[in-house]
């Protein structure tokens, strides 16, 4: 039985340093974030899945085009990454619009059929599966099973469903991506061991990520669960030379402290080239353990989840 490691990338205009969306940061992602990330994957001969927002793709089409020669998969990260455009606060009609527009933008640029989706900030609701089906998507990777840091991000109450979501990939319910069902949507959950196994944890708490990789490797050996890691190319850029002020994105003082003030100060640790070095150490570990690296789409096809 193959052991799979699925490396995934969320590409947007978010500035970690400013804790906000910035078009200027999108340009830096194109010029300074994507090239070293693609070099790492090329060095290890790895194919991955990139989830692009339609917004950054339309603004900088080359950010999508540059991954095509390497054989990576183009996936959708919805149309916008704005808090008010979250899929957990959007009705069915709105989600269909976001998904179809993003799909069209990405397919027109890449020439690839786009069938994989990850919601911005992993925010989904009871309409998301229906919207994915109606817009021609087949795979979702927005659920982080048994992840327990949801109170540090927006949409925290709905994310409580992470705690009971299945760990192994599954066909979802039509009414809930968090549950198994008979819909045509395949859910490929992100890896977590209470802490998310993502670039943010790797940079802030590298010791925890080094423990996680061993736990998740053993779990994969026992159950066949794929490792699903998430990183952002904006983690490989450093904007700390620019003065900043943390913007309050919520009227709730408790939310401001957790989701803006504390979170934004933690998240700026080890940005830039050091993030790339930390990432390489994670990749090298799974290479030595003989994991198979592939896109999410390829994984679903090779394991029979997607016909």
**Hunting for tokens 């339609």 — which residue is that?**
54
**pTM of structure:** 0.93
**107, 282, 143, 163: which is closest to 211 by C-alpha?**
282
**Hunting for tokens 């109606």 — which residue is that?**
134
> DSSP letter at 305?
S
Q: Picking from 87-101, 144-158, 173-187, 272-286, which range would have the lowest pLDDT averaged per residue?
A: 144-158
For 118-163, what is each residue's pLDDT tens digit?
999 999 999 999 999 999 999 999 999 999 876 556 656 678 899 9
In sequence order, the 6+-apart residues with CB closer than 8 A to the CB of 288 are none
For 40, the 3-state DSSP assignment is helix
Residue 254, pLDDT > 70, answer no
Residue 247: pLDDT band by 50, 70, 90 thresholds? low
**Hunting for tokens 């039509």 — which residue is that?**
174
* Phi-psi group of 90: left, alpha or beta (phi > 0 → left; psi -120 to 50 → alpha; rest → beta): beta
Range of the domain at 66: 4-302
307 lies in some domain: no
Mean pLDDT (whole number) for 255-264: 55
Number of domains in the chain: 1
229 CA to centre of own chain: 8
pLDDT score for 240: 84
271 lies in some domain: yes
- HSE-CB for 206 with a 13 A CA cutoff: 13
159-187 burial, b at 16+ Cβ within 10 Å, e below that, comes to bebbeebbeebbebbeebbbbeeebebbb
90 lies in some domain: yes
Q: Which residue has the higher pLDDT, 111 or 153?
A: 111
Question: C-alpha distances in angstroms, 251 versus 15, 38, 245, 256, 273?
Answer: 21, 39, 17, 7, 35
Q: Hey, how many other C-beta atoms are within 10 angstroms of the C-beta on 57?
A: 26
pLDDT score for 155: 59
194-218 burial, b at 16+ Cβ within 10 Å, e below that, comes to ebbbbbbbbbeebeebeebbeebbe
217 lies in some domain: yes
pLDDT score for 19: 86
Strand 139-140 and strand 4-11: pairing? unpaired
Residue 281 sits in a domain whose CATH number is 3.20.20.370
51 lies in some domain: yes
Q: Picking from 181-195, 234-248, 283-297, which range would have the lowest pLDDT averaged per residue?
A: 234-248
Residue 265, pLDDT > 80, answer no
pLDDT score for 253: 58
């Amino acid at each position: 039985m193959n052991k799979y490691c699925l490396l995934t990338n969320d590409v947007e205009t978010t500035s970690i340093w400013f804790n906000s969306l910035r078009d200027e940061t999108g340009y830096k992602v194109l010029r300074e974030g994507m090239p070293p990330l693609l070099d790492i994957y090329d060095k290890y001969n790895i194919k991955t899945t990139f989830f692009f927002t339609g917004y950054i793709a339309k603004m900088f089409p080359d950010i999508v085009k540059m991954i095509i020669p390497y054989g990576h998969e183009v996936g959708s990260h919805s149309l916008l990454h704005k808090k008010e455009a979250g899929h957990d606060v959007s009705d069915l009609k709105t989600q269909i619009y976001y998904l179809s527009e993003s799909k069209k933008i990405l397919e027109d640029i890449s020439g690839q059929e786009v069938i994989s989706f990850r919601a911005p900030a992993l925010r989904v609701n009871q309409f998301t599966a229906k919207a994915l089906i109606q817009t021609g998507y087949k795979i979702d990777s927005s659920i982080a099973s048994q992840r327990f840091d949801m109170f540090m991000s927006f949409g925290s109450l709905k994310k409580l469903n992470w705690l009971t979501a299945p760990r192994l990939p599954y066909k979802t319910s039509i009414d809930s991506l968090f549950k198994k069902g008979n819909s045509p949507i395949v859910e490929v959950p992100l890896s977590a061991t209470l802490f998310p196994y993502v670039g943010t944890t790797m940079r802030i708490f590298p010791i925890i990520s080094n423990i996680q990789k061993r736990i998740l490797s053993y779990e994969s050996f026992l159950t066949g669960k794929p490792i699903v890691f998430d990183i952002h190319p904006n983690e490989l850029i450093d904007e700390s030379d620019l003065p900043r002020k943390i913007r309050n994105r919520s009227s709730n003082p408790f939310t401001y402290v957790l989701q803006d003030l504390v979170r934004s100060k933690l998240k700026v640790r080890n940005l830039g080239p050091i993030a790339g070095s930390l990432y390489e150490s994670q990749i090298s570990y799974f290479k030595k353990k003989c994991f198979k690296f592939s896109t999410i789409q390829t994984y679903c096809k090779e394991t029979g989840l997607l016909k």
